[in-house]
Amino acid sequence: MQGVELTLEEHEVIVSHTDPTGKILYANSVFCKYAGYEMEELVGKAHNIIRHPDMPKAVFKLLWARVLNGESIYAYVKNRKKNGDYYWVKGFTTPVMKNGRVSHILSYRKRITDFQRDTIEAIYKAVVDYERSHSVDESLQFIVDYCAARGMTYDEMVDRLSLDKQVTNEESLNIDTRGYLFDHIIFREHITHKVDTGEKDIEVTKPCCCRFGKFVEASSGKDFTKHPEWRNVDRYHKDVHGKLQEYVDVAKTSGDRGKLSSINREIKDDTEKMFHSLEELIQEDTKKIFGSLNKVINEYA
């Protein structure tokens, strides 16, 4: 049984403290909720009580090497709930030192995006596969080499998948995704207002009548428009404008409220799909870096 994927709420932080051997000293209520254990059941237990079999051994080897050396580490982790459900997090683990020795270790975990999960899941699958026929030390070297082949250290790889880095990429492509999304939300409000004030000849079918449409036109021939998602972006955008026109026409003729609200829902759905495709495209750059896993696996096979 695979179990169900659980997703942390945006504000939730899973916290645990351990002794230097990894025995749990403290777990907060969010930890208990996702682990499926009561606090009393957890204290004194080894932290691997929530270990998921899909996690590579090498990641924990690195984590322990770092913290016992007095250093902190970020890691993507898939954890298992008592009933078999699971959840992905990005964890920050850091030792507390006393008289030059590790006195205890703290860990804080937040939810990750689907993009981070999909990318790291593919990497971890390859690593777990590699571990079936190699030692943990070889596996750790595999991770280091995998990152090096992409011009990164392990820490840079973890960082490269963060949302901030995707936003940086968005800026480098000069795409104001959030601005355009907002434009489309208020665009329909403008149209309703025009219809209400009896304005005639409202023409919204041409995608270039909005700021995003102008951007689409100006992007013609640019590198990122060669990505398959770009076609979806363009198509959904045209659909949105077609439906906006339908909205105007229905509002001006029958004014049928049921019909108007169903068109409205379709506009909302298409707008969401359009921006989802746009986000996929923005993350493409990162995917390209991490995508060629097979090549590295073959090198080691």
Q: How far is CA 111 from CA 27, 62, 142, 169, 233, in A?
A: 17, 21, 26, 21, 28
The residue assigned the tokens 């799909």 is 273
105 is a site residue for ligand FMN (CB under 6 A) = yes
* Smallest separation (angstroms) from ligand FMN to the CB of 158: 15
* Ordered DSSP codes for 272-298: HHHHHHHHHHHTHHHHHHHH-HHHHHH
Shortest distance, CB of residue 41 to ligand FMN, whole angstroms? 16
- Per CB under 6 A, the list member of 50, 158, 233, 240 interacting with ligand FMN is 50
Q: What share of the chain is helix, strand, coil (3-state, %, to 5)?
A: 60, 15, 25
Instruction: Report if residue 116 touches ligand FMN, rule: CB under 6 A.
Output: no
Shortest CB 61 distance to ligand FMN, Å = 8
* Binding-site size, ligand FMN (CB under 6 A): 17
Residue with Cβ nearer ligand FMN (107 or 166): 107
Quote the CA–CA distance of 196 and 274 in Å, as a whole number.
28
Beta carbon nearer to ligand FMN, 120 or 244: 120
In the set 27, 37, 47, 296, which binds ligand FMN (CB under 6 A)? 47
* Amino acid at the residue 132: R
CB of 7 to ligand FMN, least distance (A): 16
CB of 265 to ligand FMN, least distance (A): 40
CA 109 to chain centre: 15
Q: 70-86 burial string, b = 16+ CB within 10 Å, else e?
A: eeebbbbbbbbbeeebb
Q: Judged by CB under 6 A, which of 107, 169, 271, 277 binds ligand FMN?
A: 107
Tell me the backbone φ, ψ of residue 229, rounded to 5 degrees.
-65, -20
Nearer to ligand FMN, 79 or 139 (CB): 79
CB of 210: closest distance to ligand FMN in angstroms?
A: 46
- Report the 10 Å Cβ neighbour count for 89: 22
Assess 300 for contact with ligand FMN (CB under 6 A): no
Q: Which residue is nearest to ligand FMN (CB)?
A: 48
Is the separation of the CB atoms in 131 and 143 below 8 Å?
no
Residue ranges that bind ligand FMN, judged by CB under 6 A:
16, 18, 22, 47-48, 50-51, 55, 60, 63, 67, 77, 79, 91, 93, 105, 107
